[in-house]
Structure 1
Amino acid sequence: MQYRLEYTDLSLVLALVRGGNLARAAELLAVDVSTVFRAIRRLEKALGTALFEKGRAGYLPTNLAQQLARQAEQAEQALEAARVGLEQGREVLSGTVRLTCTDAVLQGILLPALGRFMGDYPGLHLELSTSNAFANLSRRDADIALRLTTAPPEYLVGRCLGEVRYALCAHRDYLSANAGRDWSELSWIAPDEFMPDHASVAWRRQSFPAVIPAYRCNSIVSVLELCRGGLGLAALPDYLLRDGDGLQVLQGDLPGCGNALWLLTRPDCRALRSVVTLFEELARHIRLPVPAQG
């Protein structure tokens, strides 16, 4: 007869995966080392397969052990949500939602929004990944995406949260040190070949065809940080601009750079309460700035 796993078995595997060795696992479980050793040996014998490989670095989990550990974490989260619900006298939403966005959207838009409501959902857990590809949802690697686009894929459903504009910016100290010089003579900061179709690149090439950027970055967040550091001019999305960062807008609403922020999900995810709840909360709390003007 096939062995029937119990919650204590899952807790044992999770502790050893997290601890990496018998001593740390014993601390997490509040038992002695010999108890953990015997329990793992009994479980592996009952399952008829090894769960860990003993190496110089400690106990290395097999694929099966990693799978059991993930399931143990889900059970752990469900129990925590139930406990909180009993304490608060109400039902508590629980589950894990996978969300993808670019690093710039994460920093400038998503994090401020999450801070406004995630505290109300102690049983809801997020797995965040930064990527520029819609493939994350099509491969079912994510449940929700925040994307800048004017034409979201037809296989996704969602909501447009507003327009995003770009502005040409530079730090006030950099402009002061280069007063009187033409913009085309200054140092420029731009996305590199990893983002060849970025709207700001097309705008610069059309408006300032002779400019060769002095700095190229593989992310808009890096472009922003170099601009904040006073290294040159950069075309930046308005949602990354903050009062007090020292940046001055030289030209706002750059032509051809307009975009829209879309909150997207897969059609099948609309049946999942955790995904729907996060989707609606993001739609309610995300706030885009008024377009900057030069």
Structure 2
Amino acid sequence: MGLWRGDGHYRLAFTQSILALPQLISASAQYQLDYPDLALVLALVRGGSLARAAALLKVDVSTVFRAVRRLEAGLGQQLFDKSRAGYLPTSLALTLAQQAEAAEQALEAARVGVAQGGEVISGTVRLTCTDSVLQSLLLPALARFMPNYPALVIELCTSNDFANLNRRDADIAVRLTATPPEHLVGRCLGAVSYRLYASSEYRQRVDCSDLAQVAWIAPDDFLPDHPSVAWRRQQWPGVQPAYRCNSMLTVAELVRAGLGVAALPDFLIGEGSLVPLSEPLGQETALWLLTRPDCRALRSVVTLFDELARHLHWA
């Protein structure tokens, strides 16, 4: 298995990355951490037990057991808490595993580059969006272009606010907003309109001409400023929704199930049995592709940003 190779090229790459770890500055000066050590830690973090780590490394269990004991003795620090549940990694082990994964990705990028005869885009990009945008827009877009970037890794997080980018927990955000934060940079991908929708079955069963008498489905207080909420409060202040949901994707699914009516964005309709009960509501927002200014120097982020700008559409 490639992870267990210990030639000089691997040693140099890993030694440079490990020197940046503050946890290891205080480790035993007598012990020189090497590639197989990181491979061992990564396999145990991924496997959670000696048996699964041994299977990943294609060695026997006793070899893994002795290697862990030798590594912990050499570092003078415990890497795993042993229990009936398995091998639980300490914070140091998790840090080492992250370094090992980064090097693993770099190695894979090098292999792809050699196979393709040129430079490849590699690295990990953290991407955040709402669950409705993920399901309706992002997944189809990723399916179109990600096969062209086998060395690019995406970490997806569904969230309804901008906190991810503010805390630097994400590199790119796809957001519905009329006023994107000024400290972020990005591109407006187009306007998004809302209409009132019901399922065909619900419309046949219930008279929807009097909207005060229908069952309303709406976002809950988790989305107090959502355009559909603002419109309903302006136009139908006395209406109390029969169903409240913490995501627009769930709102749409309840409408499809024939449980009531809701104001939904155009991109969330797709093909199906939903029928519009109104013209656009006049509560337009926009789909924005956003990133932090410091991310524009990262080729992996810029590449993903540009690809999303080309492929995210709903018209």
The answer to whether the Cα contact below 8 Å between 1:143 and 1:275 also exists between their aligned partners in 2 is yes
AA at the equivalent of 2:306 = E
Pick one of 261, 264, 278 that aligns with 2:290: 264
Cα deviation code 1:89-122 (max 9, x no counterpart): 2222110000111111111211111111001000
CA deviation string 1:156-209 (max 9, x = no partner): 111111101111000001100114752221111001111122111121122222
Check the 8 A contact 1:189/1:227 in 2, yes or no: yes
Q: What's 1:19 paired with?
A: 47
Distance 1:83 1:215, change over 3 A: same
In the alignment, which residue of structure 2 is the partner of 1:100? 128
> 181-190 or 234-243, which moves further after superposition?
181-190
Query: Separation in 1 of the partners of 2:205 and 2:218?
Result: 21
* Secondary structure of 2:288 counterpart: strand
Q: What is the aligned length?
A: 287
The Cα shift of 1:252 comes to 2.9
CA contact (8 A) 2:208 2:214 kept: no
- Matched residue SS, 1:251: coil
Greater shift in the superposed pair: 57-66 or 102-111 = 102-111
Amino acid at match of 2:290: L
Equivalent-residue separation in structure 1 for 2:61 and 2:279 (angstroms): 64
**Deviation by residue 1:207-232 (Cα, 9 ceiling, x = unmatched):** 22232111111110110000010100
Give the AA of the match of 2:292: R
Partner of 2:313: 287
CA contact under 8 A between 1:162 and 1:260: conserved in structure 2? Answer: yes
User: SS of the residue aligned with 2:173?
Assistant: strand
SS at match of 2:111: helix
In the alignment, structure 1 segments of 5+ residues that lack a partner are: 290-294
What's the Cα RMSD here? 1.2
Alignment partner, residue 70 of structure 1: 98
Map residues 107-126 of structure 1 onto 2, 5 A cutoff. Answer: 107-126=135-154
Distance across 2 between alignment mates of 1:186 and 1:180: 6
Q: Percentage identity across aligned positions?
A: 68
Answer yes or no: is the 8 Å Cα contact 1:17–1:66 preserved in 2. yes
1:150-161 to 2 correspondence within 5 Å? 150-161=178-189
Distance 1:279 1:15, change over 3 A: same
In the alignment, is residue 253 of structure 1 matched against residue 280 of structure 2? yes
Change (3 A) 1:180 1:62: closer
Secondary structure of 2:32 counterpart: coil
Aligned to 1:292: none
Please name the residue that 1:190 is paired with: 218
Say if 1:162 and 1:288, in contact at 8 Å, map to a contact too.
Answer: no
8 A contact 2:125–2:300 mirrored in 1? yes
Q: What corresponds to 2:15 in structure 1?
A: none
Q: Does 1:91 align with 2:93?
A: no
